[in-house]
Amino acid sequence: MASETQNSPFIKSLASSDKEIRDQALDSLRTYLSSRAEMSELDLLKLWKGLFYCLWMQDKPAHQQRLSRDLASLVSTLQPALVLPFLSSFWKTMAREWGNIEALRMDKYLFLIRQYVNSSLRYISRNNWGDEKRIEACMQVFGETPLSPVDVKVPNGMRYHVLDVYVDELEKVGDETWDVGVLERLLGPVERLKKESRDKAVRKAAQETLDDERLKVWRGEVVEDTEMKENGEGEEEEWGGIED
């Protein structure tokens, strides 16, 4: 089992200003995690608390973004049984620490969240979105923490940001031939948030996400602008002036 003592050496090194030290620490962390078939929730939360403050200590924007991408890439190295507990611990850590994030540090955590939305969707997109149990389990993680309609411990600011980036990251991971059934399952936590949240502003934000024009295109409800232009539809005739 992991322990805070075992985790701390490479976590501290990830915050180093020396790229070589950071890269070595990341390799060590990947090796460490990939060798674990399971970890307790307590150990995962300890790990994520360390990783959270590792990013906290990183001041240079380029290094912040690199570290966020590196942390999101850890998902692809995990053994299957550890992926969802790891993701759940990430979201629980973000929810717990959100109120402590200073305004000047917020951007780097918003970027980290975007990366984790993306890595979560990439995880369930394997095999052409064919693993329904994996999709359902990952959507349950979203619905239990970042998009929970009932958990008062989840900050609305985090909910809003996940809603803001959700369709963007779906677009990056998906393709032009979405299976509508898969798409609706991926939108399930957003639908539930729209229906069950007690906060009117949260319900409105969820509705705005569901009203995104890209979703209508993927469902085949509207034709993309580029296709309309190719077919000569929707274009205004050029005005040629007043004829004599």
- Classify residue 198: in a domain, yes or no: yes
Q: What is the pLDDT of residues 216-241, one digit of tens each?
A: 999 988 765 555 445 555 444 444 44
Q: What value does the mean pLDDT of the chain take?
A: 88
Q: How confident is the model at residue 243 (pLDDT cuts 50, 70, 90)?
A: very low
Helix (H, G, I), strand (E, B) or coil at 76: helix
- Classify residue 201: in a domain, yes or no: yes
Q: Contact 224/217 with Cβ under 8 angstroms?
A: yes
Q: What Cα–Cα distance (Å) separates residue 133 from each residue in 48, 139, 182?
A: 26, 10, 12
Per the structure, the count of domains in the chain is 1
The mean pLDDT of 180-200, rounded to a whole number, is 96
**Residue that is written with structure tokens 């290094």 in the block:** 63
- Classify residue 56: in a domain, yes or no: no
- Classify residue 11: in a domain, yes or no: no
DSSP string spanning 160-184? HHHHHHHHHHHHHHS-SS--HHHHH
Q: What Cα–Cα distance (Å) separates residue 89 from each residue in 69, 116, 145?
A: 17, 12, 10
Output the CA angle 116-143-79, nearest 5 degrees.
Answer: 50
Class of residue 197 by CB neighbours under 10 A (exposed 0-12, middle 13-18, buried 19+):
buried
- Classify residue 230: in a domain, yes or no: no
Helix (H, G, I), strand (E, B) or coil at 21: helix
The mean pLDDT of 85-101, rounded to a whole number, is 97
Q: How confident is the model at residue 191 (pLDDT cuts 50, 70, 90)?
A: very high
Per-residue model confidence (pLDDT) at position 238: 44
- Classify residue 188: in a domain, yes or no: yes
Q: How confident is the model at residue 4 (pLDDT cuts 50, 70, 90)?
A: very low
- Classify residue 209: in a domain, yes or no: yes
Task: Note down the domain range covering 120.
Answer: 61-221
Structure tokens at 86: 């790891």
**CA 244, CA 1: separation in Å to the nearest integer?**
88
How many CA atoms lie within 13 Å of 21's alpha carbon, on the beta-carbon side?
11
- Number of other residues whose CB lies within 10 A of the CB of residue 238: 6
Q: Is the pLDDT of residue 145 over 90?
A: yes
Q: What is the pLDDT of residues 18-68, one digit of tens each?
A: 878 888 888 889 999 999 999 999 999 999 998 999 899 888 899 899 999
Q: Is the pLDDT of residue 189 over 90?
A: yes
- Classify residue 92: in a domain, yes or no: yes
Per-residue model confidence (pLDDT) at position 235: 46
Tell me if the pTM is above 0.75. Answer: yes
